[in-house]
Amino acid sequence: MSGQPLFTVERKTKILEVLQLQNKVTVAKLASEFGVSGATIRSDLRQMHAQGLIIRTHGGAMQKISSNIELYTDQKLDSNIEKKKRIAEAALQLISDGDSIILDTGTTTLELAKLLYRKGYLTVITNDIEIALTLEKHPSAKIYMLGGLIRKMFHCTLSLSGKPLMDGIIVNKAFMGTNAFSLEKGALTPDISQAETKKAMIQCAQEVILLCDSSKIGKVSLSQFARMEDIDIFVTDAIGTQDKSSMEEKGIMIIVA
């Protein structure tokens, strides 16, 4: 890999991206890719294994199928960034001037928030601190920041019991992020409190749009927040033909960015 050497956290994020694409990788390949010693990579892999992020193998590592361990927001910012930007551009086309929307917390929804200057007279409800700060500069949007418990290192708030913070609110569209998605289990997240907040958001929306990059499809996590029947539109960068057909049979519109 050319350019400046990566910091440890950046390198670990890139290792996770490699595993999402290849499922398994060797120490030698990673050392060559990042321009560091095998000892450095082995140290990274030992730490990541201890954190539950990967499965350490002889001479390398394998992807951990479950998504119950969640990277902090700052660790995810550059992960699959091009996919997220494409998904955000596609999602923007679903928003009309004057819409009322919920923006769920997440790095993909943050990319969407950065594009909302192209739309006017929006009402935006969010629990994401970074999204609220981004939209504070929007010339005509009304921004409502949901209060509650701050989820440290994730730049968002959680309602203490889910629904009360959003009781009585009705919006046109909710743009939801997810940590994992499967045809059997729907959309999932590792944090139970996060799942409850997401469920409350979905209940407020006339239309639910799930933003999900392809690395999350086929994964599972601890807590379900949306069933297949809760999702109206699914925006992704890539999806298998069989999965696409199965979802369309359930009435879900699929948009491939």
pLDDT (0 to 100) of residue 75: 58
Cα angle 145-146-149, degrees, rounded to a multiple of 5: 125
Looking at the chain, which runs of residues are DSSP E strands?
A: 24-26, 54-57, 60-63, 100-103, 123-126, 142-145, 149-151, 156-158, 171-176, 180-182, 186-189, 205-211, 223-226, 233-236, 253-256
Q: What are phi and psi of 152, to 5 degrees?
A: -60, 140
DSSP 127: -
d(CA 145, CA 165): 10
219 membership: H or E segment, kind and range: none
- The CATH number of the structural domain formed by 74-256 is 3.40.50.1360
Q: What are phi and psi of 169, to 5 degrees?
A: -85, 135
- In the chain, domain spans: 8-64, 74-256
pLDDT (0 to 100) of residue 76: 63
* Residues contacting 41, CB < 8 A, separation 6+: 27, 30, 31, 34
pLDDT (0 to 100) of residue 245: 96
The DSSP string of 60-72 is EEEE-SB--S---
pLDDT (0 to 100) of residue 72: 57
Domain 8-64 indexed as CATH 1.10.10.10? yes
165 membership: H or E segment, kind and range: none
10-residue mean pLDDT profile of the chain (257 residues): values are: 65 82 86 92 90 84 66 62 95 98 96 97 97 95 91 83 70 96 93 90 97 90 94 97 95 97
Strand bridging mode 180-182 / 156-158? unpaired
Report CA 137 to chain centroid distance, whole Å: 23
